[in-house]
């Protein structure tokens, strides 16, 4: 879905109604902090792979993206409180390896 937002796509299959691409700095992927925070929780190791694929084109597995977006805003978890409740697993993996990389697991919200 992030790849679609970074490129463009026809809305409801209508080639005359195309959703224009967003800039990478406009997109942050949202994920539940823990299984208790909501449906769709994915382990940190897998979400790191997805972010690596989108920002570096590494760890993509069978996924093929339409490009590489190092300026992608990052990944946020639903709630720092749920991360704290879950032992801080998201927070422990929240460091980017350089100032140019997106924030990983930014834990926005409350």
6 phi/psi in degrees, rounded to 5: -85, -15
Q: Determine, yes or no, domain membership for 17.
A: no
| pTM of the full structure | 0.66
Q: How far, in Å, CA of 88 to CA of 103, rounded?
A: 16
User: How many domains does the chain contain in total?
Assistant: 1
> Domain for residue 21, yes or no?
no
- What would the mean pLDDT of 60-75 be, rounded to a whole number? 87
19 within some domain: no
Q: Give a yes or no: residue 9 inside a domain.
A: no
Mean pLDDT of 52-58: 90
Domain that holds residue 78: 35-61+70-110
Give the per-residue pLDDT at 15.
92
pLDDT of 93 reads 54
CB 96 within 8 Å of CB 104:
yes
Is 101 domain-assigned?
Answer: yes
Residue 44: strand, helix, or coil: helix
Please say if the pLDDT value at position 3 is more than 80: yes
């Amino acid at each position: 879905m992030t790849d679609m937002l970074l490129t463009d796509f026809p809305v409801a299959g209508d080639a005359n109604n195309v959703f224009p691409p967003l800039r990478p700095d406009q997109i942050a992927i949202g994920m539940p902090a823990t299984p208790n925070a909501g449906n769709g929780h994915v382990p940190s190791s897998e979400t790191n792979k997805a972010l690596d694929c989108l920002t570096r084109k590494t760890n993509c597995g069978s996924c093929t993206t339409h490009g590489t977006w190092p300026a992608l805003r990052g990944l946020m978890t639903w709630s720092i409180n749920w991360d704290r409740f879950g032992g801080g697993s998201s927070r422990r993996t929240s460091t980017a390896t350089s100032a140019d990389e997106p924030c990983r697991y930014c834990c926005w919200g409350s």
